[in-house]
Structure formats: C-alpha cells, structure tokens
C-alpha cells in the first residue's frame, strides 16, 4: 500500500509544469560615469628677468626664485640700480576638476634667443635651475598639486639666467612650456 | 547500546520518509493550489564606466567580461569600471522534478542617453554574457534560451557591458543613465 502511494506521488510530481508564456519582469539598472573637466594651464605672466647689465670681464647671473626672490650674482646687475619692478617668476593658472590632484612637469633648462639692439641675432643665453612652486603645496613638493574647491591652483616658475662676460645689449626671449596632467 | 542506536535511527528515517510522502501527496492531490509561474529580475550592480576625461568626444567600453578599453579619452583614478549585473529568476510554481529550458526575450527599452551640462553620454550598444546574445541594442528585442533548469526556481545571473560615447562641449559631468532590462518568458520548453 505504501509502495503504491509512493508511485502515485512520483507520477503526479512528474506532470509537466503549467505553460509560462507572457511572464515578464523589469529591473531598473544604471550606467554610471564620471566625465572629468579637462585640466588646463593658462599663462598669467611671463618669467621676466627685467633689464640688466653685464660685465665685460665677469660672467654673472640673475636668479628669480619660484616664490619671487631675486638675486644677482657675478657680473650681472639690475639696470635700474636697486630692485627693478617687474622682475617676476612665470605664473600659470591651472583649472580643472575640483579636488583632483595633478602633476606638473617643466623643463630643467631652456635657451633664450636674442636680437641685438642694433639688429641681428645675439648669442643664445642659457636659463637653468628652473624651479616650480605650487600654491596648493608650499615647500618641497614641486610636481604634484591639488585643485581647490573651485577647481583651481596656481603655479610659479623661477629660474636662473646665465649672462656671460661681454654679452652685447640685446632683447632675449625664450619659450617656457609646462605640462599639467591629472594624476 | 549498539542495537538501541540502530533502532533509533530506523525510527527517525521512517518518520522522515512518512513526512515527505505526506507532503508530496498533499501537493499532488491539489494541483489547484500550485502557484502561478512568476518572473523577477533584479539589478545587482550598476554598469560602471569609471572616471575619465575627453577633449571633445571619446568613448569607453566595458565588456560583459570586464575588459576595459577607450578611444580619445584619458582614464583617471576613481570608481573602477565594471559591467552591470542582473539576476533573472523564474519560479515555475510547482516542484516538478523535470529538466526544462526557458525561451526568453530580453529588451533594453528606449534610448540609453543623458545630457548633463555640456556633456552628452550615449550607450548605443550593450553586450552581455547571456547565452546566444552578443549584443543588446536599445529598443530591439533579443531572444535567448536558458537551458538546464531543473528545480522549481531557475535563476541565472548575467552581466551587461556597453560602450559609452561621450560628446563634451564644456565642463564635466557625473552621468547616471537608466538601464532598464525587460525579460519575458515566452515559453517553457
């Protein structure tokens, strides 16, 4: 009797399921992405060594610190006597996504090409010891910055202009390129 | 002691068998109380394209398998890209112990697009690891067959990837594009 009951139960359990067509369900998923504002650096002012005089016999240099300190050495001296106005480091405004950190890279040295006052090209002058100062990171850190809550930061770049003895009066110009990237 | 142990065990087995048989007969004798088949789909995880920037336009692809690639974008640190994950569950309504398959239609309705400020994001094509479907195009129905279902509940977790096309005229944006998935059981095979 018990065996018959078991067989009957097994037979009923084996019955095909009810048709199920038309059963439908929806899930609401989501696709997410954070599109970041590109980071850019805009020049606010140039690295300006101002007007200076050079010695006929002694080489010299003028150094502008990234934070603005100016120092004349050797045969180089300010043409205006004391401290000349407008001798400043280069300044850049960096803008991008608020709160993001970024890396700045700048060359260690560049070359200034000159045009003699009387016309014609002058020998090139070397600008070296380029130093970078980030407003967001005072002190030793000079390559990684952080954009503030407005998505901005400021970069200053100083350097040393080397003036050989007997440099002829000329106008000098160099291109300083920095690159900023999100880190 | 040994004999007493065996006797007790036999009694337990007999009682258990009787209880199971009783339940089986009760269910089999009343087919009207079997539940109607039902389908549920749950969204377990969002499709994440992560953080990146593009100058004017670019795209990023996250495959259903999790592979990530991009065109004209710069990936940035942030949320790790990952495919979406959904779970489809079919309850056939009874405990019949047979192997069956399900013919299912899958639809991503409407356009998967969002405009946020100067950024437009569009997903024109999804891919999935559902069997037999290589692409899910918004607005177009795809059909799949889920095989190997055996119990009352047949459940399958699957992943959905896609390609996000971004056009940027200004600024950035945090995109959250709705990704509805409609699954319909067309037939139980």
CATH number at residue B158: 2.60.40
Q: Are residues B10 and B74 in the same domain?
A: no
- Per DSSP, B99 falls in state -
Q: How far apart are the first and last CA of chain B?
A: 54
The Cα B131–Cα A26 span in angstroms is 19
Specify if A23 maps to a domain. Answer: no
What's residue B7's pLDDT?
38
Q: Are residues B17 and B40 in the same domain?
A: no
Ranges of beta strands (E only) in chain B are 38-45, 47-53, 57-62, 68-71, 74-76, 84-91, 100-107, 112-116, 119-128, 141-149, 153-168, 173-188
- Mean pLDDT is lowest, of A140-149, A158-167, B141-150, for A140-149
Q: Are residues B26 and B39 in the same domain?
A: no
Q: Which of the pair, B78 or B164, is modelled with greater confidence?
A: B164
How many structural domains is chain B composed of? 2
- Per DSSP, A170 falls in state E
What's residue B180's pLDDT?
93
The Cα B100–Cα B188 span in angstroms is 7
Specify if A18 maps to a domain. Answer: no
Q: Are residues B84 and B3 in the same domain?
A: no
For residue B20, the enclosing domain spans: 1-33
Chain B residues close to A26, C-beta within 8 Å: 41, 180-183
Q: Are residues B40 and B2 in the same domain?
A: no
The Cα A89–Cα A151 span in angstroms is 23
Rg of chain A taking only CA atoms, in angstroms: 34
Q: Are residues B169 and B135 in the same domain?
A: yes
Specify if A149 maps to a domain. Answer: yes
Looking at CA atoms only, how far is residue A97 from chain B in angstroms? Answer: 8
How many structural domains is chain A composed of? 1
Specify if A6 maps to a domain. Answer: no
Chain A residues close to B179, C-beta within 8 Å: 28-31
Tens digits of residue pLDDT in B24-83: 334 444 444 567 888 999 999 999 999 998 989 999 999 999 999 999 998 988 889 999
- When pLDDT is cut at 50, 70 and 90, the band that residue A140 belongs to is low
Of A6, A29, A100, the CB nearest to B179: A29
Q: Are residues B105 and B165 in the same domain?
A: yes
Q: Residue B17 phi/psi, 5° resolution? A: -60, -40
The Cα A3–Cα A163 span in angstroms is 111
Tens digits of residue pLDDT in B105-132: 999 987 889 999 999 999 988 999 998 8
Q: Choose, out of A22, A27, A150, A180, the residue to mutate when testing the contact with B (most B CBs < 10 Å).
A: A27
Looking at residues A48-59, what average pLDDT do you find? 91
Asked if B107 contacts B94 with a C-beta cutoff of 8 angstroms, the reply is no
- When pLDDT is cut at 50, 70 and 90, the band that residue A141 belongs to is low
The Cα B128–Cα B137 span in angstroms is 11
Of B77, B134, B180, the C-alpha closest to A97 is: B77
Task: Using CA coordinates, name the residue in chain A closest to B51.
Answer: A34
Specify if A73 maps to a domain. Answer: yes
Of B84, B17, B13, the C-alpha closest to A33 is: B84
Q: Choose, out of A6, A10, A32, the residue to mutate when testing the contact with B (most B CBs < 10 Å).
A: A32
Q: Are residues B128 and B156 in the same domain?
A: yes
Residue A1, chain B, CB below 8 Å: the answer is no
Looking at residues A142-156, what average pLDDT do you find? 91
What's residue A13's pLDDT?
36
Chain A residues close to B25, C-beta within 8 Å: 5, 8-9
Contact assignment for A34 to B51 by CB distance below 8 Å: yes
The Cα B166–Cα B57 span in angstroms is 5
Looking at CA atoms only, how far is residue A100 from chain B in angstroms? Answer: 10
Looking at CA atoms only, how far is residue A87 from chain B in angstroms? Answer: 35
Q: Are residues B40 and B9 in the same domain?
A: no
What's residue B33's pLDDT?
58
Q: Are residues B87 and B14 in the same domain?
A: no
Q: Residue A9 phi/psi, 5° resolution? A: -65, -45
> Is this complex's ipTM strictly greater than 0.95?
no
Q: Are residues B29 and B55 in the same domain?
A: no
For residue A100, the enclosing domain spans: 39-182
User: Is residue B161 pLDDT above 50, yes or no?
Assistant: yes
Rg of chain B taking only CA atoms, in angstroms: 25
Residue A37, chain B, CB below 8 Å: the answer is yes
User: Which residues 98-117 of A are in CB contact (within 8 Å) with B?
Assistant: 100
Give the CA dihedral A106, B172, A33, B69, nearest 10 degrees.
-40
Hey, is B15 helix, strand or coil?
helix
Asked if A114 contacts A161 with a C-beta cutoff of 8 angstroms, the reply is no
Contact assignment for B53 to A182 by CB distance below 8 Å: yes
Contact assignment for B164 to A33 by CB distance below 8 Å: yes
Contact assignment for B50 to A6 by CB distance below 8 Å: no
Q: Are residues B69 and B153 in the same domain?
A: yes
Chain B residues close to A30, C-beta within 8 Å: 43, 46-47, 84, 176-179
């Amino acid at each position: 009797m018990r065996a018959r009951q078991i067989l009957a139960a097994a037979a009923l359990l084996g019955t095909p399921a009810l048709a199920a067509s038309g059963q439908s369900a929806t899930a609401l998923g989501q696709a997410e992405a954070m599109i970041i504002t590109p980071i850019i650096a805009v020049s606010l002012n140039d690295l300006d060594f101002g007007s200076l005089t050079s010695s006929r016999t002694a080489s010299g240099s003028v150094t502008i610190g990234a934070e603005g300190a100016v120092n004349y050495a050797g045969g180089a001296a300010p043409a205006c006597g004391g401290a000349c106005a407008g001798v400043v480091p280069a300044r850049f405004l960096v803008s991008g996504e608020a709160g993001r950190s970024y890396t700045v890279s700048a060359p260690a040295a560049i070359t200034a090409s000159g045009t003699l006052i009387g016309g014609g090209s002058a020998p090139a002058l070397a600008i070296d010891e380029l130093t970078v100062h980030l407003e967001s990171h005072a002190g030793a850190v000079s390559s990684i910055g952080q954009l503030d809550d407005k998505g901005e930061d400021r970069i200053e770049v100083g350097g040393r202009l080397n003036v050989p003895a007997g440099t002829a009066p000329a106008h000098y110009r160099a291109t300083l390129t920095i690159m900023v990237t999100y880190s | 002691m040994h004999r007493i142990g065996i006797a007790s065990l036999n009694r337990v087995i007999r009682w258990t068998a009787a209880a199971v048989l009783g339940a089986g007969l009760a269910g089999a004798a009343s087919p009207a109380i079997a539940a109607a088949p039902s389908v549920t789909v749950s969204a377990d995880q969002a499709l994440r394209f992560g953080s990146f920037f593009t100058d004017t336009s670019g795209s990023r692809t996250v495959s259903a398998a999790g592979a990530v690639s991009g065109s004209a974008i710069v990936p940035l640190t942030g949320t790790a890209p990952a495919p979406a994950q959904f779970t489809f569950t079919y309850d056939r309504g009874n405990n019949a112990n047979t192997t069956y398959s399900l013919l299912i239609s899958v639809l991503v309705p409407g356009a998967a697009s969002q405009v946020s400020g100067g950024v437009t994001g569009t997903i024109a094509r999804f891919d999935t690891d559902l069997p037999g479907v290589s692409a899910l195009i918004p607005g177009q129905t795809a059909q799949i067959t889920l095989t190997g279902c055996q119990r009352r509940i047949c459940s399958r977790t699957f992943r959905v990837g896609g390609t996000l096309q971004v056009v940027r005229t200004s600024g950035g944006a945090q995109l959250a594009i709705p990704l509805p998935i409609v699954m319909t059981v067309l037939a139980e095979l």
